[in-house]
Amino acid sequence: MTRIVSTAKGIGRLESDGETVALLDLYATDLGAALQTGLDIASIATAAVRDRVPMDRTQAQLMAPVPRPSKIWAVGYAYAGHRTEVGYAGTAEDPVVFLKAPSSVIGTGAQIRFPKVAPDEVDYEGELAVVIGRRATDVPEADAYSFVAGFTICNDVSARDVQKGRVPGRAANVTAAKSFDTFTPMGPALATLDEFADPDDLHLRTWVGGELRQDARTSQLIHPVPALVSYLSRQTTLEPGDVIATGTPAGVGHKQGLFLRSGDEVRIEIEGIGTLVNTCA
C-alpha cells in the first residue's frame, strides 16, 4: 500500500518503517496542488525520490494531504447507529450533505483551537475521507472508484451550540458550526486504493484522552463511497483534490455530555491509513 504525505518540504511517500519520508521529485508543493495540475495518483506515487528524511517537525512535518481543497463535502447521519443516538427521524433516501470551509483544514499534530464565540460545546467526529483524483461529473456508481485518488482520515469538529442554535444572537447553522479555523483535521496520509483488500470495509476507531469513544466499520455506512461520489458528482463537478468526509458513526460526545476540553488529545485510526492525532487548545 502506498501512503502519500504533504510536508513542509514537499510531497513525500511514507516508507514502510512509518518513520521515514521519501521526498518525491515533483514541482507541486503538496498533494492537492499536484492533483490539480492534472497528475494522476499513480504518477505521483511512483515519482523519483530526491531525498529521504525522518518524519518529524524539523525534517518532514506533516500537513493535511490536501491542505486547501477547493471543496469539502461532508455527510450527516451516515451510520444507522449515529442516527439512533441523535434521534434523527429523516426518511429521505438521498444522503444529507453540506459544505465545510477549506480554511478549516489542519494536519495531524496541529492544535484544534476552540472559537472564542463558542468554546463550550466542541465535539469530535471521526470519519473516513475520500480524495477525488480527477474531474468527476455525472459519474455512475460502478465507475466511482476510478475517480478516487485515495482515502485519508478526517475529524469533522463541530460546535454543537452553534449547530443547534444555542448561542445567543446566532441562528442554528451547520456550516458555521463546522467551519471554524482548525475544525477539519485531516491526515496523516493519503492511502491509495490499490492494495486495500476491501475499500468498503475498514475499521474506524476514535479515542479522546485515551478513552475509546467510536468503534465501527465503514461497511456500516448507509451510503457507501461509490454512492456518495456518484450522488455528489450529479450535484456539482468534483475537482481533483476535493474531499468528501463520509460521515461519523455512533459515539460522538455531545449525546453523552462529553464535550472536548483544553488539553484533550483526539486520536482517530482507520486501518490501512494511519492515525490522525490532534490536541485541543
Question: Tell me, what's the pLDDT at 85?
Answer: 86
All structural domains of the chain, each given as residue ranges with its CATH number in brackets, are 64-280 (3.90.850.10)
Q: Which residues contact 90 (CB under 8 A, 6 or more apart)?
A: 77, 83, 96
Question: Tell me, what's the pLDDT at 58?
Answer: 64
- What does each C-alpha distance from 235 to 84, 136, 228, 231, 269 come to in angstroms? 27, 11, 11, 7, 30
CA dist 218 and 224 (Å) reads 8
Question: Tell me, what's the pLDDT at 213?
Answer: 97
- For residue 275, give the nearest of 84, 267, 90 by alpha carbon: 267
What does pLDDT average to in each consecutive run of 10 residues of the chain (281 residues)? 92 92 96 96 97 81 96 95 82 89 98 96 98 99 98 98 92 96 98 94 98 98 98 98 98 91 98 97 94
Radius of gyration of the chain (CA): 18
